[in-house]
Structures are given as C-alpha cells and as structure tokens.
A and B are shown apart, each in its own frame.
Chain A
Amino acid sequence: MGRKLIGLTVGFFLSMAMAYFLFPVSYNQIIYWLAPYLGHWLRFFFMYLFLIFGHPLSYPTVLVAWVVIGVVSGLFVRSIWGAIPVVIFIFGFTFLMMIFGLVAVFLPLILTGAIGSIDFMAILANIPPGVSLFDIITAPVIGPIINAIIGGIGDITGGGGAVDPSIILGVLQNMIVTTIILPLVLNFIILLVAAIIGGIIGRAIFPVRD
C-alpha cells in the first residue's frame, strides 16, 4: 500500500500542477474577465475542466498532462495492477475537484443571493483588453459546446421552418458525445495506458521483491 499511497499523492499534486501550469490562455482571458465577479474558484474549476474534458487530440497539452500523470504514478506504484486503481482514483479525484470548483463558484453566490446583485451589463461593459467572444467560442471545451449550440440552432430553425424535435435531440446527442463524452473517455484511456506503461517501467527499474 505504501507504493500506491505515494503514487496517489504524487498523482494528485501532479494533476493539480498540470492543470495549473498548462492552463489555456483563452481561459485566462475569460477568467480575467469574469473572476472579479465569480471569484477565485473560477480558475480552479476551469483548470480541471480543461484537464477532464479537453480533447487530447485537439489540445496536446491535455495529452501530455495525462501521460505524465499516468507514467509518473505508475513509476511510483511499480505494478501494473497496482497502478490501475491508483490512476482511477486520480481521475476520479480530478473530476471531483472540477465539480467542487463549480459548486464553490456558484453555490455561495446562489445561497447568499449575491448572484442577483451582479450587474451583467457592468460585466459586459468592462471587458478587459484581449477578451472577446472570439476567445470564448474558440476556447477549449466551452468553444465546441457553444459552436455546437449555435450550429444546432441553425439546424433546428432551418431557415425558419418548423422545429423538428428529432433534430434537437440529434444536435444534443452530437454535442454531448463529441465534446463531453469522447474527450472524457479518451483522457481516461490515455491515463490508464500511461499508468500501465509507468508501472512496467517502474517495475523494470526498481524491481519489487516478491
């Protein structure tokens, strides 16, 4: 269990460091814009959002992050079957942190009623330089969702025709699969494979005497 605990600990901190230092610049712009109103946890949420739902093939930093996390954790565990539960927990921890960040951003605002006092016009009127909708619609994770919604609206309206519920469902399904589930699964698989590789390498370098 000692190796697994160390692997877990290193994986936790590594995931946090990766999420922090590989933070996409477009998110930075959004955060600079909204953080004065939504608080520090916004960055925390976006950190893990990008790590969890960033498409590893579109954003190589996500791929690198999960590979590093998996390999390093596996190196410490030095066991294939030991590394797998460790990285599963790391992935779950990352996901929980994202949820926690989201809740920490909005729940206090909702419970304290502060969200009702936010002046949205002031938010729109105080956009820092460098921030534009272009940043938002091209931002990782958020951008594809917005684009999917926009494209979906175009498909749904179809130039003014009647709304077809099947088209709506198709758009939603496509959006969920391509922008949420697919990156999530890919990242998880990458982490697992990386952990197995790390376990093999770790076992080869530092054999476990058993």
Chain B
Amino acid sequence: MKQRYYQSSTPLIRSNKFTLLVATMSVLLLLTSFLPFFYQGTHSIYSPIEIVSFQDGIKHSMYHTASLQNFTMEGNVDLTAFVVGPDGSMTGTFVAAGDVGAFNTAAPHYAECLLALSIFRWGDYLDVLTGLMQVITNDTSGSSELDAMMGILDLLPPNAILMVFMGGSSAEIQIWGDAIHQDFENVLGIQFARIFGITIPIPNMTVGIEAYGYFGEIGSPDPVEIQGRDKFQGYMLNLGTSRRGGTELITPTLANDSIGGVGIAGFLNIGVLGGSPSPMKSTMQTPESITMAAWASRHEDKFFGSEEQTFNVNEFVDRTGTFSMGTLDGFEFTMLFPSDVNITSYTPTDMYNSSSPEGVMVIRTTGHWENDTTDIPNIVVNFEGDFPPGLSIRKTITPLIPVGGIATVTIQVTNIDPTETVYEINVDDSHAWDAYLNLPHSDVAITGSTAGYWASIAPGNTETFSYQISITGEGGYVAQRANVTYEDDTARVWEKTSNKVYLTVTYTSLLEFLLILLQDIPWSLPVLLIVVLMAIYAIIWLIKLLLGVFRKRPAAPPTKTGPPPDITPEEVPPPPDEYEPPAKPYPETTCINCGAPVPPGVSFCPACGAQVAED
C-alpha cells in the first residue's frame, strides 16, 4: 500500500478540466494583448474619405459636430446690418428694425433661430468659438445669443466673407473664410460618401460658419414647424437643407408646399471666387477648377426631397474668373465680392446692386418662391482681379503611424497658371512642427530638409520634395502650413501657404501600450509607488479581515508516523524490531491526513480533500 503523506487541500489543481480552462483563458488573454488595434484602429484612423466613429455601437461621424441651439428673439431683427470693412473685417449689430426683407411687417414676429453652428475647422480656433457660442447661448436671458454671435464675428479672420440670405420668413447667415482644402475635403467627403459613395476632391475651398434663422408668426394657428430640423444636426454643410420659402408667413395655408432650398455649394463657390481683400491676398489660396454637386431640397407634404445641381467653376485662368450657376427655382441670394474684384459682366443684368456694404460688391437677386412662376435664370458672373499667377502648394503626410514610426511629409508645388512661369520659388516648412518640440512626453525627430528651392517652374509643371518625421508620443499632431514665396514675370513677389496636415500617432496593440507605459512610469516618484503598493496591501488585508478569510481552520492532528516526504526510500531507517504498529490509532473511517471522519465509500476527505481511498 502506497501512503500519501502530502496532498494539496485545494481540489482546484486536481481538476484537469479546470486546468485546461485556465490554460486556454490564459492563452486567449495573451493573444488578446497582441491583437492589433482592432477596436480603436478601425474607428479612429484619420481617413480623407470618410471619418466615422463608433461609440457604444452607434455609428457617428467624427465631423458632425454641429451644435444646435434654439432661442427666441423678440421683435424684428435686421440681419442685414453687417458691414464688411475694406480690410475684410466684419462688424455689425443686430438691429431691431421695422422691416426685414420681405416680411409682413404688419404682424409681430418672433424668430426661432436654429443656430446650426457647424463646428468647422476654420483657422485653428473656430471649434472653440462655436463651442463657446453654444455655451453662451445656453443662457437665454437677454440677447446674449446675439452678443455671442457678434463676438464670433469680431474674431473672424480678416479674409472672411459674409453672406446674408434673406427671405420672406427665413434668413440665413453664411460667413465664409479661407480654410485649407484638406479640412474641407474631409468634412465634405462625409456628405458625398454618404450620398454617392464617392469622394470628390476639392483642391481649395472656403468653409465657414452658418446660421439659420426661421421666422414664424406669433399666434399662428398652425405654428411653423421646423421641417427637417434633424437634418441640421450633425451635418457640416447642410447641403440637403437650407432655407424655407417666405410664403408661409404671408399665406400660412401654403406653408406646407412653399418651402424649398438650395444647397450652399453655389454660394460657397462665390466665396472662393471672391477671394480676399487686398491685405490678405498674398495668403489666399488660388482656387483651381472646382466641380461639385449640390442639391436643392424641397418641402412638399413635409417631405424633403433632393435635386442635384451642378456648379462648374473654372476661374483664375489668366487672372479672370467666371462663376455660373444653373437655374434655381425661387430663391434670392446675395453674393459679396471683395472690392478689388472687378465684375466685368453678369447675367441677369438686374441683379447687380451697387449699394453694397462698404468694401464689397454685391450681387443680389430678387426673391422668388416656389409658388412663383418666375424662376431665376442662369446666373453668370465674369470677373477679373489682380490675382497672383497660379501656384499651388500642397502638403501631404502619412496620416497614421504607430508610436515611434516614421511619417513622410511631401510638399508639392505646381504651377497651375496656364501661361505664366513663376520664378525663385522658395518653400519653407521649418516651422511646421514647432508646437511639438521640447514636449515632456514625446520626441519629434525630423530627417531631411524642410526647405525647397527651384529657380523656375513652367506652367503645368510640378516640383516635389519630402522629409520624414518620427514622433514617440501618442496623439494627433497638426503640422502648420508651409510657406512658399515666388516671383511673377514682373519680379513681383507673392507668397502663399500650403494646407495643414494632420498626423495621428497611435498604439498598435495593448501590449505596446503597456510597454510604453512601463517606460514612462514616473519612476522619479518612488514614494508614490510605495504608497500605492502599501495601499493595495492594506486593502487586501482589510478585505480579508472583513470577510473572515483568516478564519483559522481546526488544527489537524499529527500525521501518521512515517518517513518525511523529503527522505528517499533508501534513507528510510529500517523499523526497529520492537516496532509494532499502533492498534488502529484512527478508526477506519478517519482521514489519514487530518483525522477527520470520512463517510464510507467516499474517496476524498471532506475536511482536507486528501485522498483516502487506497490505490
């Protein structure tokens, strides 16, 4: 008979199935740590086509950052009081006026303004401004909304262009400023990708802020319902919804079939065409040919449909431009051009309005509404200006790299002017990463030259140079614009800037994340670590104490005499002759390990788990 002098009291490790399960789970956990960034990676990668994020299983667009704010304004509001100054800056006030556009002034009005402040990336700070706008407008007392709006206007870039669209019962404020093409391409890509499944590259575009005002009539038996309000939420450009017709205020019975809208793309193009006033001209992007689609939405029986309108813009060819827009049903609109843009011809001829705000030229059509039989004919505006020869500078970068990886920055300079050669082209990108130098948690290493020079670039030709950058810290990095200076054929110096580029540095796996964390543990704080460990230790003991884990088991009786387990059989001394086994020191139904009684037929001791059956 083989005696067992020691046996684990834990049946856990004797369970083969459970051991297998533990091993399997361990392997799975280990493999999990090596898995790629499958969850975050597919949702947070910066893509120029469509940015989609998932949160809690719900699909979101990372760019649909519109903030929606409802508020009420008492009295009439004149939204046309904005003035664009000669330097491009805008000032103005909301004035309580008697008449606003085509309003029926006999009736009191209230304005339920939906400030669909699409949080664009305009410059570097419009996000913050619009966020503040939302914050401020949470206070509905007084006219803080207007003050906030004005505050934003005061902070607009000087090359911004304001457009005000007035209707019988609606108003739109569109403020456009220079922005970089990549931003817009991305945000617009969402729209196109969703609707058409494609992306239309737009070389240069102007984006901005827009506000929608909808006016209704107090006491109307059928209050004006803001149709399509949900469409405002989350869409950057609201291409599918724009403005409501005015007849509903005048004749409420027509409210449900009088509403239409036009995409803002047409106006957007004008903003591009207008360029900027002289002081900012040197930093404006020279637009290239733009082809984009917009669509007008109609409201019929409370349903918004869509029509597609295509705007083809080819401009800045030999420093002249043409804007054309197809027939639009029943919409008035206003175009503001910088004063240094010379409008040479336009159709229809009755839409030019020389009594414009200071510093701008205005082209304004009269309002037509859907129930009106008159449509606005094709609009064509030819203009010319003292624009620089077309030189395009475009910066691209590897959009996503792992921590410590290498991204390649490529700067491409193209002479897009059809006739004129440019000279002495100097590109400087040395300050693109200044904001991230000497950071405490990441190192930025640039390999290669950040400057480029070419003596001349002929029309249609392209020059390129690139350098590499490596960043050791996680994050989203914004590379500032590259500058390019060049001369035209009269040795006049022009300057332009490129787009910004964005680099996302991220982890590729949980294991990499943990390893980097280990390297970045604040070892300079040993006291902190000790305190934390002591706290953990104290909590363990507290939990054990509270839950009685330290209950003492009844002392086991001494084990049966015999050789200790660390003595080999050869070393076992022979039993003395006078040795006689004790006469059943324990009853047969007693565990030989602990002495506890064992019921007949049970193989394991219920007290200590030791096997009591003979092998």
Contacts and interface: CB of A to CB of B under 8 A. Distances in A.
A60 interface: yes
Given A23-B40, A40-B474, A126-B435, A107 B525 contact: yes
A32 interface: yes
Given A134-B65, A135-B65, A210 B606 contact: yes
Interface in B99-139: 119, 121, 124-125, 127-128, 130-132, 134-135, 138-139
A85 interface: yes
Contacts of A76: 22
B524 A129 contact: no
A21 B435 CA distance: 30
B125 A125 contact: yes
14 contacts: A13-B29, A17-B29, A26-B53, A36-B441, A36-B473, A43-B513, A61-B56, A103-B525, A128-B46, A128-B478, A134-B134, A150-B138, A206-B21, A210-B606
B439 interface: yes
B127 A133 contact: yes
A104 to B, nearest CB: 5
A137 B131 contact: yes
B152 to A, nearest CB: 13
A189 interface: no
A124 B29 contact: no
Interface string A114-140: 100001001011111111111111000
Given A85-B543, A124-B128, A131-B476, A10 B502 contact: no
Contacts of B18: 206
B62 interface: yes
A38, A43, A133, A135 — most chain B CB neighbours (10 Å): A133
Interface string A6-35: 100010011011001111111011011111
Interface stretch (B197-205, B515-523, B573-581): B515-523
B438 to A, nearest CB: 8
B71 interface: no
Contacts of A24: 55-56
Interface residues of B, number: 84
Interface string B528-546: 1000100110011001100
Given A40-B516, A60-B57, A133-B119, A124 B125 contact: yes
Given A84-B547, A103-B528, A119-B435, A25 B520 contact: no
Given A92-B539, A134-B67, A206 B17 contact: yes
Nearest to A20: B510
Interface in A32-68: 32-41, 43-44, 59-61
A127 B183 CA distance: 12
B127 A127 contact: yes
Given A17-B510, A160-B141, A206-B17, A35 B504 contact: no
A180 interface: no
A122 B439 CA distance: 12
Contacts of A6: 12, 22
Nearest to B48: A129
A81 B431 CA distance: 62
A109 interface: yes
Contact of A150 (B55, B135, B524, B525): B135
Contact of A33 (B10, B439, B476, B544): B476
Interface string A65-80: 0000000100010000
Given A44-B517, A126-B435, A10 B60 contact: no
Contacts of B521: 104
A25 B44 contact: yes
A65 to B, nearest CB: 12
Nearest to B608: A210
B478 A127 contact: yes
Contacts of B11: 208-210
B600 interface: no
Given A85-B549, A210-B606, A125 B440 contact: no
Interface in B12-27: 12-13, 15, 17-18, 21-22, 25
A72 to B, nearest CB: 8
Contacts of B478: 126-128
Contacts of A84: 547
Contacts of A125: 124-125, 435
